[in-house]
Chains A and B, each alone.
Chain A
Amino acid sequence: MDAVNFNESASLELNADKVIAEEKKVRKFRLFDGIFKKSLGSISILFVVFIIAIFLTLLIQSLPSIQALGFDYFTHTKWDPVTLEFGSLPFLVGTLVTSFLALVITIPFSLSVSLLLGEYYPKGFFSNLLRNCIELLGGIPSIIYGFWGLFFLVPIMRSFETSIGVPPLGIGVFTTSFLLFIMVIPYSASIGRDVISLVPADLKQAALALGCTKYEVIKLVVVPYARSGIFAGILLALGRALGETMAVTMVIGNKNAIPDSLFGPANTMASVIANEFTEAASQVYLSSLVEMGLLLFVVTTIISFIGKQVINRFSNT
């Protein structure tokens, strides 16, 4: 069409206008493209800066406590805001004990779910139902777990504790672990299922052809092959359990001391922050709570980093 116009001298001027307009349009597009790409680039930089800023804020705000308390912070067993004694050992112990206990109970269950959905019945109504149940379990808010735990689990625990002859408090370390175990099933199970379904079919078929039973295939092929991925799932579940706040706060009993028994009350890092952060009057008090937040942040970051690396390596090979 341009070629036709070009031959007609009458429309030549009009055509020049058109070219200029076109040129302007292209220039405008280039400008917009530039702005668009720049803003995408800068928002990505801002996001990374934002993550670093989270770390720096926590670090700077916990400096007063780091300076005042030093390493004693981790070894001192007394937490008393009145006398300005801040030893976080009880909370470290409380967090580690509840989380690891929860993981130990979770492993057989989440492994069963992953094997059932990844290996035994990958498709079908029954496995769909179970998968959706587990996924919805992951969507239930922590506060509802806590509330349900307080009014359903605690009475059951109380009668259980009476029957084995320990003080029937109902709340405490074991109840918390039990609640956490239910809460973290979805995380480790969904990753476990993903990695188990990635196990190459020819390996399994080879084992079956050699006369292995399903159990032997799982024991000798599936689990060894998916080991690192299953481990990553459990690691990510640990990250969840360590930082879990509301449900834990409601059923652990909130006692600022190292738990004297498996059924005794205790406190975790997250729950002590939830309980005391708004009442922290002095600077060292607030700062020692922030230091606990910093510790949680660093630990969960390391855990999710390692977990992600393992999963990425697994799904790339």
Chain B
Amino acid sequence: MLFRKIKDKLFGSIIILLALISGVPLVLILFFLTKEGISNLSFDFLINLPKPIGETGGGISNAIIGTFILIIISSVIAIPIGIMLAVFLSEFRKHKFAYYVRMGVDILQGTPSIVVGMIAYLWVVKQMGNFSALSGGVALAIMMLPVIITSTEETLKLVPNSFKESAYALGVPYYATILRVILPAALTGMVTGVMLSIARVAGETAPLLFTAFGSPFMNLDITKPISSVPQIIFTYSTSPYVELHALAWTASFLLIVFILIMNISAKLLAKRWKLNL
């Protein structure tokens, strides 16, 4: 009897110990990034362009602008398509295509980001003849789609059926019921989904390596190569120069703060509206 109790207690403690250890890397990563990254963070870092090796200072303004441009391009592509597919999935649940669309979403969710980059390269870069922000945006849009579709579909499922029935009873046509009644009711959930998808792609590097490619200059033209924060972290951190490592730490710190804010506020929003995403 005693032996069984000891075994039980021992097992419980091991579970707690291992689970606690699993949370340690997060603390370590955040601590390390903050320690190394925050000292360099200044206004100049945000507004200056990168300087040549050897000169001190310099910033990553082109990468910050680049990341925002890439996020805007991918959102413009992915949000309408994602929402339409989610409406299709929640409205035509038994439709024969719904099964295949769901399967497609699962496939896309599991596709490695490097393969997504390869597809964007073969479809966009090869056709245009050069690396471009547009192709990077396409790659990121492909990565955003599954997140937007699943979260929007989950939210649409939560909209009470009585909303739709009331609209029908008032003689509202189908398209207006969806666009003016159902979708506004699900707005919070959709915003949450979009925020999560932005948080997912903001740090993606692999799909940008051979699409957006990176550029040392400030670039606002979406048909030209563009720099981005994760890519600058990659180039700087794998370079042999200590000054560049310091810049990469600060860039990582900025990136992680942005992603954490997006993730946490999406979670708070979802919690407030009792969504389960």
Q: Please measure, in the bound complex, the distance between the C-alpha atom of A47 and the C-alpha atom of B101, giving whole angstroms.
A: 7
In the assembled complex, B5 has its CB within 8 A of some CB on chain A = yes
Assess the B113–A213 pair: CB atoms within 8 A.
no
The winner among B108, B114, B122, B267 for most chain A CB atoms within 10 A is B114
A189 smallest CB distance to B (angstroms): 7
Contacts of A116 in B (CB 8 A): 15-16, 19
Assess the A304–B119 pair: CB atoms within 8 A.
no
Q: Kindly report which residue of chain B lies nearest to residue A218, judged by CB atoms.
A: B11
- Of residues 78 through 136 on chain A, the ones whose CB sits less than 8 Å from some CB of chain B are 108-110, 112-113, 115-117, 120, 130, 132-136
A316 smallest CB distance to B (angstroms): 14
Contacts of A245 in B (CB 8 A): 112-114, 205-206
Of B8, B23, B92, B238, the contact of A216 (CB 8 Å cutoff): B8
Q: Please measure, in the bound complex, the distance between the C-alpha atom of A45 and the C-alpha atom of B104, giving whole angstroms.
A: 11
Of B8, B15, B97, the contact of A41 (CB 8 Å cutoff): B97
Q: Which of A4-12, A67-75, A144-152 contacts B (4 or more CB under 8 A)?
A: A144-152
How many residues in A have their beta carbons less than 8 Å from beta carbons of B? 82
Q: Residue-by-residue, is A38-64 near B (CB-CB < 8 Å gives 1, otherwise 0)?
A: 011101110110110010011001000
Contacts of A215 in B (CB 8 A): 4, 7-8, 11-12
Q: Residue-by-residue, is B239-266 near A (CB-CB < 8 Å gives 1, otherwise 0)?
A: 0000001001100100110011001100
Q: Residue-by-residue, is B219-234 near A (CB-CB < 8 Å gives 1, otherwise 0)?
A: 0000000000010011
Contacts of A214 in B (CB 8 A): 8, 11-12
Contacts of B16 in A (CB 8 A): 112, 116, 120
Contacts of B121 in A (CB 8 A): 277
B41 smallest CB distance to A (angstroms): 16
A124 smallest CB distance to B (angstroms): 13
- Of residues 163 through 199 on chain B, the ones whose CB sits less than 8 Å from some CB of chain A are 173-176, 178, 199
Assess the A148–B29 pair: CB atoms within 8 A.
yes
Q: Which of B45-53, B58-66, B69-77, B80-88 contacts A (4 or more CB under 8 A)?
A: B80-88
B96 smallest CB distance to A (angstroms): 10
Q: Please measure, in the bound complex, the distance between the C-alpha atom of A39 and the C-alpha atom of B85, giving whole angstroms.
A: 10
Of A113, A147, A277, the contact of B22 (CB 8 Å cutoff): A113
Assess the A33–B100 pair: CB atoms within 8 A.
no
Assess A293 versus B199: contact at CB under 8 Å? Given A109-B22, A215-B8, A215-B11.
no
Contacts of B109 in A (CB 8 A): 304
Contacts of B114 in A (CB 8 A): 243, 245, 270, 273-274, 293, 296
B118 smallest CB distance to A (angstroms): 5
Assess the B88–A246 pair: CB atoms within 8 A.
no
Q: Please measure, in the bound complex, the distance between the C-alpha atom of A58 and the C-alpha atom of B23, giving whole angstroms.
A: 38
Of B107, B237, B260, the contact of A51 (CB 8 Å cutoff): B107
Q: Kindly report which residue of chain A lies nearest to residue B92, judged by CB atoms.
A: A40
Q: Kindly report which residue of chain B lies nearest to residue A272, judged by CB atoms.
A: B114
Assess the B118–A277 pair: CB atoms within 8 A.
yes
In the assembled complex, B217 has its CB within 8 A of some CB on chain A = no
In the assembled complex, B133 has its CB within 8 A of some CB on chain A = no
B119 smallest CB distance to A (angstroms): 5
Contacts of B104 in A (CB 8 A): 47-48, 50-51
Contacts of B234 in A (CB 8 A): 143, 146, 246, 250
Contacts of B259 in A (CB 8 A): 139-141
Assess the A303–B110 pair: CB atoms within 8 A.
yes
B187 smallest CB distance to A (angstroms): 19
27 A-B residue pairs with Cβ-Cβ distance under 8 Å, sorted by A, are A40-B91, A44-B88, A44-B97, A48-B100, A48-B104, A57-B119, A112-B14, A117-B19, A130-B19, A134-B22, A134-B26, A136-B26, A139-B260, A141-B204, A143-B203, A143-B205, A144-B203, A148-B32, A239-B110, A245-B113, A270-B114, A278-B209, A278-B213, A290-B118, A293-B114, A296-B115, A301-B107
With A135-B267, A152-B32, A250-B238 given, can you name 10 additional A-B contacts, CB distance below 8 Å?
A: A32-B175, A109-B21, A110-B22, A140-B26, A148-B28, A214-B8, A214-B11, A215-B8, A215-B12, A236-B110
Nearest 9 Cβ contacts at the A-B interface: A243-B112, A141-B203, A304-B110, A112-B18, A29-B173, A36-B175, A213-B8, A245-B206, A215-B8
